[in-house]
A = this chain, B = another copy of it.
Amino acid sequence: MIQTPYLLFLGDAPDKLAAKVAQGIKDWRPENAVGQFRMEGCGTTVDLPDMTLEEGIAAGAKTLVIGVANRGGVISEAWKEVLVQALQMGYDIASGLHNLLRDENELMSAARVNGQTLFDVRIPSVAYPIANGVKRTGKRCLAVGTDCSVGKMYTGLCMDAEMQKRGMKTTFRPTGQTGILITGGGVPLDAVIADFMAGAVEYLTPDNDPDHWDHIEGQGSLFHVSYSGVTMALIHGGQPDALILAHEPTRTHMRGLPDYKLPSLEALRDMVLPIAQVANPACQIAGVSVNTQHMTDDDARAYLAEVEDRMGLPTTDPFRYGAGVLVDALEQI
């Protein structure tokens, strides 16, 4: 686990999109961040107090989290100077960048000398077991998408937040680097060796109280040929009791695959349920989560009503209108 709280490194992020990891931490685990660190030329903010490295330490920060994408895939000299200083002052550093912290000699040696840890959350740090398929106690919910990047992580985070509000036992279980940085731990599933994928998910969601819900972060899509194997391992390793179908209605083709059309929600439902019931015969589809960010409020509400009627399942955009109806459905399971 990455030590919290964090100081969020925004570096020279030009805009909001570049700082989306920092924004995710601010939105979902504000208690994990004491402030933001911005450099000369930073063009955005996540609306946390600006702090120097010294002020961050004084506020209790343990880890400097790279909350920004790096331009051109290079960890610049200007960044490195700050990161080395941070290590010298006693920060660990955590990053989800493609370029690894551990591949930078100056960072490695500064970390060694100062006894600090570099967390490259894209790379597994655990030798995961092969899945054994044994039924675990506690309950699990997984969002599965008609495509990649349709809002599965946000669906899980929204349901987790709603359950927290209701005083229910709940944990969000990250399977990608943004989720791992938000909560401080998880499994970078897309980087796990094929034979150990399902075992990594079992490891991520161990036995728990009978009334506890794990919200497992979804990945890929059964209909996305590049990543469907990862989705499959998530379903069989996760043994979900409840599935949420996730959809983005304005997509014209599968992400990155111009020749592939999106499946209907019905096609997703019909494919995923028998697959999930291999690992958990009691699994059911509990609701539909629609990402309506590209629709007007009127269009979104009309679309949600139409889907709810057509599918006979509670349907919402949990980020826009709350996850209440989805959590209501899970309370019946």
Chain A residues with CB under 8 Å of chain B are 130-135, 189-195, 197-199, 222-223, 225-233, 236-237, 254, 256-257, 259-260, 263, 267, 270-271, 274-275, 278-279
Contacts and interface: CB of A to CB of B under 8 A. Distances in A.
Given A134-B259, A257-B133, A225 B279 contact: yes
Contacts of A191: 193-195
Contact of A130 (B226, B270, B275): B226
Contacts of A275: 222, 228, 271
A282 to B, nearest CB: 14
A267 B274 CA distance: 9
Contacts of A133: 225-226, 254, 257, 259-260
A189 to B, nearest CB: 6
Contacts of A194: 189-194, 197, 229-230, 233
Given A131-B225, A260-B278, 15 more contacts: A130-B226, A133-B260, A191-B193, A191-B195, A192-B194, A195-B227, A197-B229, A198-B229, A222-B275, A223-B278, A225-B278, A228-B233, A228-B278, A232-B232, A271-B275
Given A131-B226, A230-B229, A193 B195 contact: no
Stoichiometry, copies per complex: 2
A174 to B, nearest CB: 15
A222 to B, nearest CB: 7
Nearest to A190: B195
Nearest to A129: B226
Contact of A135 (B130, B135, B259, B279): B259
A229 B232 contact: yes
A261 to B, nearest CB: 10
A200 to B, nearest CB: 9
Contacts of A278: 222-223, 225, 228, 260, 263
A220 B193 CA distance: 15
A270 to B, nearest CB: 7
A289 B228 CA distance: 26
